[in-house]
Structure 1
Amino acid sequence: MKIQGFLEQLLKSQTGGSLLNADFGKGAVAGGALGLLLGKNRKTRKLATYGGLAAIGVMAYQAYRDHQQQTAATATEPRTVDRLPPPQAEQHSQAILRALIAAAKADGHVDDRERAVIEGEFRRIGDDAELQRWLQAELQKPLDPAEVAQAGETPEVASEMYLASLMVVDEQNFMERAYLDELARQLKLDADLKNRLERQLAEQAARA
């Protein structure tokens, strides 16, 4: 199961075009699988401004490094997804993809019919049977921020997962904001680090 390449392709597929027409069942899709999952043109445009997988790593690296300096924590070189050899990068990628899928479900809009179309788009992007089974399981899971956060085994992974979630939620939506806050709590993100991650994302969007 190779998630890193799949995730990179998934992120880079969100570069324009309308998402879907009013009849979801016809599958009239131009925005890609993640666009289907997000279900809103606004979210897809927002996501496209941030860049691919490496951009998530760069932002997490900067925020975590600045956090270490601010809090006088023992300074260690942050090991983010953009700075790791393939096996570790694959682990980070899986956690990031899990966070993206969960966050996109936070407003409760993905029903069985939509899920089937999304799974079809996932199959179009990649034909790895093991990966497809994993994606299907993630789509079908009840939303549980505590379960999602279990993948955040290091501060760097937790930071990347929170960034990925921020990229797709509507912070003005009560349900999605509540999910995001609970995810941060379950990831055990320090308040300073959480704020720095949010600023990094805002600055990246402003530069785009």
Structure 2
Amino acid sequence: MFDAKRLLDQFMGGQGGGTANQGGQGGPADFLKGAGGGALAGGLVAILMGSKTGRKIGGEALKMGGMAAVGALAYKAYRDWQSGKAPVQTSAQMPQQQNFPMLPPPSGTPFNPSTESGQQSLARNLLRAMIAAAKADGHVDADEQARIFAEMDKLPLSSEDKAFVMDELRAKLDVDAVAAAAATPEEAAEIYTASLLSIDVDNAAERGYLAMLAARLNLDDALVAHLQQTVASAAGKAAQPVG
């Protein structure tokens, strides 16, 4: 049976625990790249992004599991925005990696559904958002898809996992469909966070996609700034305004 939560762990290269590491192997930690773990670019996102460097977030976040890590980042940004705080800017020369405690979002909230069905639904929406973001610059053409599928065959993925990724990669990029999955403002913040995590904003197409996604999700400009800065801080980068 397709397990969206487990696949999200593998997308992010996190440790996750639970079903993601049953049997002592085959979990996301088995193909982490880089010393110390916690490199988002070490998961399936790296395969999707090709030669791009990807976002790198600290191991402390990814020990929580993929969905919890996205939720923790979105929850912090959302809470700071609601409290009226201004985003704390980090310097491009001296970025501050994860200079805040990574707290799991409260259970029973849109950031962390209390039911298994709710968690699976959210994980599926986050996966779709990440794949769409990875396609935003148009580099995932037919040849790139073939390379991705070949690389996926080397990973401990189920046939259901592979089918989900293949279907999403082959689907037409549809920012409206990504945004429509958000049933609450909190879910909208998480979908935007997941998109930020799977993209390096280095060209106009990517910036345009994220700006369009924020608009379709009806995210407040100040919240968008908080989300961008929170992800950038966790990645040890300076935030780049993307609209």
Unpaired runs of at least 5, structure 1: 18-29, 72-76
Query: Under a length normalisation based on structure 1, what TM-score does the superposition of the two structures give?
Result: 0.77
Quote the offset at 1:32 in angstroms: 5.2
The counterpart of 1:153, out of the listed 183, 202, 205, is 183
Quote the offset at 1:148 in angstroms: 1.5
Distance 1:48 1:125 in 2: 22
Quote the offset at 1:143 in angstroms: 1.3
Change (3 A) 1:79 1:115: same
Distance 2:227 2:75 in 1: 10
Residue 127 (structure 1) aligns with: 158
Q: Are the equivalent residues in 2 in contact too, given 1:33–1:121 (CA < 8 A)?
A: no
Q: Are the equivalent residues in 1 in contact too, given 2:52–2:200 (CA < 8 A)?
A: no
User: Percent same amino acid among aligned pairs?
Assistant: 36
Change (3 A) 1:153 1:119: farther
Quote the offset at 1:175 in angstroms: 0.7
Q: Are the equivalent residues in 2 in contact too, given 1:170–1:177 (CA < 8 A)?
A: no
Q: Are the equivalent residues in 2 in contact too, given 1:59–1:200 (CA < 8 A)?
A: yes
Q: Are the equivalent residues in 2 in contact too, given 1:15–1:48 (CA < 8 A)?
A: no
The counterpart of 2:71, out of the listed 52, 57, 60, is 57
1:117 and 2:147 equivalent? Answer: yes
1:42 and 2:35 equivalent? Answer: no
Quote the offset at 1:91 in angstroms: 1.2
Secondary structure at 1:125 match in 2:
coil
1:80 and 2:111 equivalent? Answer: yes
Change (3 A) 1:115 1:165: same
Q: Are the equivalent residues in 2 in contact too, given 1:149–1:158 (CA < 8 A)?
A: yes
Residue 16 (structure 1) aligns with: 33
Quote the offset at 1:120 in angstroms: 4.1
Quote the offset at 1:59 in angstroms: 1.1
Q: Are the equivalent residues in 2 in contact too, given 1:6–1:125 (CA < 8 A)?
A: no
Residue 126 (structure 2) aligns with: 96
Secondary structure at 1:138 match in 2:
helix
Higher helix share: 1
Q: Are the equivalent residues in 2 in contact too, given 1:10–1:125 (CA < 8 A)?
A: no
Distance 2:223 2:132 in 1: 21
Structure 2 letter corresponding to 1:70: G
Structure 2 letter corresponding to 1:4: K
Quote the offset at 1:195 in angstroms: 1.3
Deviations 1:116-135 (A, max 9, x none): 23234445332143x43332
RMSD across aligned C-alpha pairs, in angstroms?
Answer: 2.6
Secondary structure at 2:73 match in 1:
helix
1:70 and 2:84 equivalent? Answer: yes
Change (3 A) 1:144 1:8: same
